């Protein structure tokens, strides 16, 4: 199998690439390196290119006889998406539509798509299943939901088969310790907590302590990046085995508050997290926890990292060894 991985130099992309390589597949990473890191691609071919560049995409697909695509390339910051919706609709919607055009023109009809728990918005029930109402509270979630709907239409009309994976909160790093989370700027909770421990920031701002949760801070479902990556490997194999288009949640099914994450990080690092309470962040739902039985049952997915301290320990190893990320 020759697989094109757009955004394969990014955080989740680079971890997934490593797992796909282990299956013996030929992996071609396609990334414009705007948020991705060249140094995160260790073994596979890396093509520097944009998903809007139809000619380069076509050449890549033809040159490497690509038969499927795993599509990570997208913007993914909830807060920024509210301030800069134009960027998000352009990149995540128009960019993905362009990729789909090129795929169909070249007869590539298998796609694994990075979606998000943000498609649900504020859930009605605490455990979110794939059938839960989709009513995104932020632009990022809306762009991903638009693309899920477009892919469903393309699937019916053009024979595209896709699996959309709705990620909850990706975190942690590969045990090898040479790839990990490095966003500029960093906005995600666990890396910010660890940077605060290291004294690399003034401290952590807790965004709101008046949510209807046990300690007033938001609850999220944190899932190790390699468990996420493994789900892509299984999804792709399922598509090659004739599985039809489908959508799956990807989370551990356990929720942790912001304060619980801080406490777990303090236990793992033995350090204190300097912290202050700030206003709520626009677009943040109070609780997002995955019901992920469907992917366990259908694809046999089994997360290996279920203990939050174990997950944070893998992130801590990366942060200690790479305090300045890939640049260091
Ligand atoms: N948080 C803080 N302080 C910070 C950063 C985050 O209190 O400095 C809080 C947020 O308010 C939120 C929680 O920590 O309640 C987690 O925030 P993240 O930014 O780490 O993650 P999000 O839940 O906002 O979003 C992540 C991904 C999205 C995805 C979503 C799905 O970034 O792409 O998970 O659950 F859509």
Q: Is ligand 1 within 6 A of the CB of residue 223?
A: no
Residue 126: what pLDDT?
A: 78
Torsion-angle region of 216 (φ positive above 0: left; ψ -120 to 50: alpha; else: beta): left
Residue 79: what pLDDT?
A: 87
CA of 188 to the centre of ligand 1 (A): 5
What's this model's pTM, rounded to 2 decimal places?
A: 0.97
Q: What average pLDDT does range 251-259 have in this prediction? A: 96
Provide the pLDDT confidence category of residue 282 given band limits of 50, 70 and 90: confident
Residue 120: what pLDDT?
A: 95
Q: Is ligand 1 within 6 A of the CB of residue 258?
A: yes
Residue 283: what pLDDT?
A: 78
Judged against a pLDDT cut of 90, whether residue 124 lies above it is answered with no
Instruction: Collect contacts of 151-155 with beta carbons under 8 A, ≥24 apart.
Output: 151/100, 151/111, 151/113, 151/245, 152/245, 154/100, 154/104, 155/244, 155/245
Residue 320: what pLDDT?
A: 95
Among 82, 165, 169, the mutation site with the greatest number of ligand 1 atoms within 8 A of its Cβ is: 169
Q: Which atom of ligand 1 lies nearest, measured to the CA of 116?
A: 36
Q: What average pLDDT does range 194-200 have in this prediction? A: 94
Q: Is ligand 1 within 6 A of the CB of residue 165?
A: no
Report the topology of domain 189-220+254-288+305-327: UDP-galactose 4-epimerase; domain 1 (3.90.25)
Q: Which atom of ligand 1 lies nearest, measured to the CA of 217?
A: 15
Residue 90: what pLDDT?
A: 98
Asked if the interface predicted TM-score (ipTM) of this complex is over 0.90, the answer is yes
The owner of tokens 């490497």 is 64
Residue 142: what pLDDT?
A: 98
Q: For 14-50, how does the pLDDT look when each residue is reduced to its tens digit (9 = 90+)?
A: 999 999 999 999 999 999 999 999 999 999 999 999 9
Q: Is ligand 1 within 6 A of the CB of residue 183?
A: no
Could you write out the DSSP letters of every residue in 248-302?
Answer: EEES-S--EEHHHHHHHHHHHHSS---EEEEPPPTT--SEEEE--HHHHHHH---
Q: What average pLDDT does range 319-326 have in this prediction? A: 94
Among 138, 183, 218, the mutation site with the greatest number of ligand 1 atoms within 8 A of its Cβ is: 218
Alpha-carbon distance 145 to 124, whole Å? 18
Q: Is ligand 1 within 6 A of the CB of residue 169?
A: yes
Alpha-carbon distance 235 to 258, whole Å? 31
Please tell me the residue having the least CA distance from ligand 1 atom 5.
Answer: 189
Q: Count other Cβ atoms within 10 Å, centred on residue 304.
A: 9
**Which one from 120, 140, 162, 305 is the annotated catalytic residue?**
140
Q: Give the residue, 68 or 282, on which the prediction is more confident.
A: 68
Residue 200: what pLDDT?
A: 92
Could you write out the DSSP letters of every residue in 23-37?
Answer: TT-EEEEEE--SSS-
Judged against a pLDDT cut of 80, whether residue 328 lies above it is answered with no
Alpha-carbon distance 76 to 147, whole Å? 14
Judged against a pLDDT cut of 90, whether residue 314 lies above it is answered with yes
Q: What average pLDDT does range 69-83 have in this prediction? A: 94
Q: Which atom of ligand 1 lies nearest, measured to the CA of 138?
A: 36
CA angle 145, 47, 91 (to 5 degrees): 25
Q: For 165-190, how does the pLDDT look when each residue is reduced to its tens digit (9 = 90+)?
A: 999 999 999 999 999 999 999 999 99
Q: For 291-302, how does the pLDDT look when each residue is reduced to its tens digit (9 = 90+)?
A: 999 999 999 999
DSSP state of 216: S
Provide the pLDDT confidence category of residue 2 given band limits of 50, 70 and 90: very high
88 counts as catalytic: no
Task: Report the chain's mean pLDDT, rounded to a whole number.
Answer: 96
Alpha-carbon distance 84 to 190, whole Å? 24
Q: What CATH number belongs to 2-171+221-250?
A: 3.40.50.720
Domain limits, the chain: 2-171+221-250, 189-220+254-288+305-327
């Amino acid at each position: 199998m020759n697989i094109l991985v757009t955004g394969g130099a990014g955080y989740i992309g680079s971890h997934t690439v490593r797992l796909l390589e282990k299956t013996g597949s030929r992996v071609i990473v396609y990334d414009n390196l705007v948020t991705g890191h060249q140094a995160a691609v260790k073994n596979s071919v890396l093509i520097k290119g944009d998903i809007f560049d139809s000619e380069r995409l076509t050449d890549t697909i033809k040159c490497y006889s690509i038969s499927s695509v795993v599509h990570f390339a997208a913007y993914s910051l909830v807060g920024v998406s509210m301030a800069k919706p134009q960027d998000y609709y352009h990149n995540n919607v128009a960019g993905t539509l362009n990729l789909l055009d090129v795929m169909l023109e070249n007869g590539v009809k298998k796609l694994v798509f990075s979606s998000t728990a943000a498609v649900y918005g504020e859930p009605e029930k605490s455990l979110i299943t794939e059938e839960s109402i989709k009513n995104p509270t932020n632009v990022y979630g809306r762009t991903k939901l638009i693309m899920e709907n477009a892919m469903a239409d393309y699937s019916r009309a053009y024979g595209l088969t896709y699996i959309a994976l709705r990620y909850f909160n990706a975190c942690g790093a590969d045990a090898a310790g040479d790839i990990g989370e490095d966003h500029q700027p960093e906005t995600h909770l666990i890396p910010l907590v660890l940077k605060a421990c290291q004294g690399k920031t003034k401290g952590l701002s807790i965004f709101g302590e008046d949510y209807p949760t046990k300690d007033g801070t938001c609850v999220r479902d944190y899932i190790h990046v390699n468990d996420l990556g493994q789900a892509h490997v299984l999804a792709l194999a399922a598509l090659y085995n004739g599985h039809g288009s489908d959508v799956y949640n990807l989370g551990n099914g356990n929720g942790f508050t912001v304060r619980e994450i801080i406490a777990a990080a303090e236990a793992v690092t033995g350090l204190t997290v300097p912290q202050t309470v700030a206003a709520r962040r626009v677009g943040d739902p109070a609780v997002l926890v995955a019901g992920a039985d469907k992917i366990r049952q259908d694809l046999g997915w089994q997360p290996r990292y279920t203990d939050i301290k174990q997950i944070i320990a893998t992130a801590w190893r990366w942060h200690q060894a790479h305090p300045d990320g890939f640049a260091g």
